[in-house]
Amino acid sequence: MRVHNFAAGPAALPLEVLERAQSELTDFNGLGMSVMEISHRSKDFVAVAAESEALLRELLGVPDNYAVLFLQGGATGQFAAIPLNLTAPGDQVDYINTGAWSTKAIAEARKFAEVNVIADEQASNYSTTPAADTLRVTDGAAYLHYTANETIGGVEFGYLPEAGDVPLVADLSSTIMSRPLDVSKFGLFYAGAQKNLGPSGITVVIVRDDLLGRARPQTPSVLDYAVMAGADSMLNTPPTFGWYLLGLNLQWVRDTGGVTAMAERNQRKAETLYAAIDGLDFYSNPVETRSRSWMNVPFLLADSSLDQEFLTQAYAAGLTNLEGHRSVGGLRASIYNATSQESVDALVAFLKEFERTHA
Ligand SMILES: *Cc1c(COP(=O)(O)O)cnc(C)c1O
């Protein structure tokens, strides 16, 4: 039996995707081998890779002057790859700090460049995003980096920061493919796949052509965007099974109606869950309304001593992975593309029942 899975990452994948992978696991394309057992240079795998890229371009509307890279090292690897590729020693870079993932990106960037934190939401305990008109981008900064959705804090930007001529760089790990995106506004964005694109082990980087070829000479080749673009992301052995599964997941997105349909579903799921949390006395969400994430919904019990009992009973009811991040505690429901309205409805019914039996 499949449970209602609210994991933050690695996260739920659509059942259809898993069943398709299962059906061709031992015999891919009639080869008598699995996709894991063939060369990444074989024509069958090269076709898988090309189709994944084509689908990603089609679904997100990626213009031709952007490269799509499939890398390793996770989003965390990109925290270093971005300054290595886009700055020279001594360059200034701007960052917006909206929580745990921004903080990590900033700490890594400080190893390589002069970091200006042009907005820091610490005063609200990272429950807010800065007002758009308060952002002052540094003249001559190599880029402006922000975290579009803070997976741990449940804080999501409702707008694209305006950076003028400075390239806009975004960590979209936990929001990519959840709603339409104007790719042309970005210099670069990236996402670890394990939230909303596929399994862990593969990272997507989408970068405008004019930002290629600027890497510092010491940049490891596997993190050098121009090198990886020139090698079609196959400088070395890529994570073939993850790339394949990512492709199946994108087919599912396309067959389900694309990002517009995802956005409609996601908005409805989020509204359902926030309405329940706001409407019940037992629960609260700490995030300012305009910055509430569609993907990650942290919530607190009025009496936190009931957290463990909540999790135990939820688990018994088939609702899994509802604990908050180990750094903040509390509870959190992640409701990425693959989590259905039915799962959210089941969670809401449980919230009501738990309140009724514990109030
Ligand atoms: C999960 C996550 C990361 C870290 O991803 P890894 O692939 O584990 O390095 C970074 N940023 C955001 C927004 C995330 O959700």
Q: Quick one: average pLDDT of 99-120?
A: 98
Closest residue to atom 12 of ligand 1, CA basis: 173
Q: Is residue 350 predicted with pLDDT exceeding 90?
A: yes
User: 359 CA to middle of ligand 1, Å?
Assistant: 37
Per-residue pLDDT tens digits for 273-286: 999 999 999 999 99
- Which residues fall within 8 angstroms of residue 114, CB to CB, at 6 or more apart? 90, 91, 92, 93
Q: Is residue 30 predicted with pLDDT exceeding 90?
A: yes
Helix (H, G, I), strand (E, B) or coil at 338: coil
Q: Is residue 326 predicted with pLDDT exceeding 90?
A: no
Task: Say what angle helices 240-255 and 43-60 make with each other, to 10 degrees.
Answer: 40
Predicted pLDDT of residue 346: 98
Predicted pLDDT of residue 327: 82
The Cα–Cα gap between 262 and 265 comes to 5
Q: Which of the residues 94, 171, 243, 269 is marked catalytic?
A: 171
Q: How confident is the model at residue 1 (pLDDT cuts 50, 70, 90)?
A: confident
Q: How confident is the model at residue 72 (pLDDT cuts 50, 70, 90)?
A: very high
Ligand 1 atom having least distance to the Cα of 9 = 1
Q: Is residue 117 predicted with pLDDT exceeding 90?
A: yes
User: How do the residues of the chain divide into helix, strand and coil, expressed in percent and rounded to 5?
Assistant: 40, 15, 40
Q: How confident is the model at residue 329 (pLDDT cuts 50, 70, 90)?
A: confident
User: 199 CA to middle of ligand 1, Å?
Assistant: 13
The Cα–Cα gap between 345 and 162 comes to 37
Which candidate, 270, 173, 211, 251, places its Cα nearest to that of 84?
211
Q: What is the pTM of this model?
A: 0.98
Ligand 1 atom having least distance to the Cα of 192 = 7
Residue 187 CB less than 6 A away from ligand 1: no
Q: How confident is the model at residue 290 (pLDDT cuts 50, 70, 90)?
A: very high
Q: Which of the residues 94, 101, 243, 294 is marked catalytic?
A: 101
Predicted pLDDT of residue 335: 98
Residue 101 CB less than 6 A away from ligand 1: yes
Q: How confident is the model at residue 262 (pLDDT cuts 50, 70, 90)?
A: very high
Per-residue pLDDT tens digits for 184-202: 999 999 999 999 999 999 9
Q: Is residue 169 predicted with pLDDT exceeding 90?
A: yes
The percentage of residues in the chain with a pLDDT greater than 90, rounded to a whole number, is 98
N-terminal to C-terminal alpha carbon distance within the chain: 31
101 is catalytic: yes
Residue 102 CB less than 6 A away from ligand 1: no
Query: Tokens for 20?
Result: 């398709």
What does the longest C-alpha to C-alpha distance in the chain come to?
63
Q: How confident is the model at residue 325 (pLDDT cuts 50, 70, 90)?
A: confident
Predicted pLDDT of residue 359: 84
The Cα–Cα gap between 296 and 271 comes to 12
Q: Quick one: average pLDDT of 10-14?
A: 98
| Binding region | 41, 75-76, 101, 151, 171, 194, 236-237
The Cα–Cα gap between 38 and 45 comes to 7
Helix (H, G, I), strand (E, B) or coil at 156: strand
Per-residue pLDDT tens digits for 208-232: 999 999 999 999 999 999 999 999 9
Per-residue pLDDT tens digits for 137-168: 999 999 999 999 999 999 999 999 999 999 99
Mean of all residue pLDDT scores within the chain: 97
Token pair 């405008």 in the structure block, residue? 208
In angstroms and rounded to an integer, the radius of gyration of the C-alpha atoms of the chain is: 21
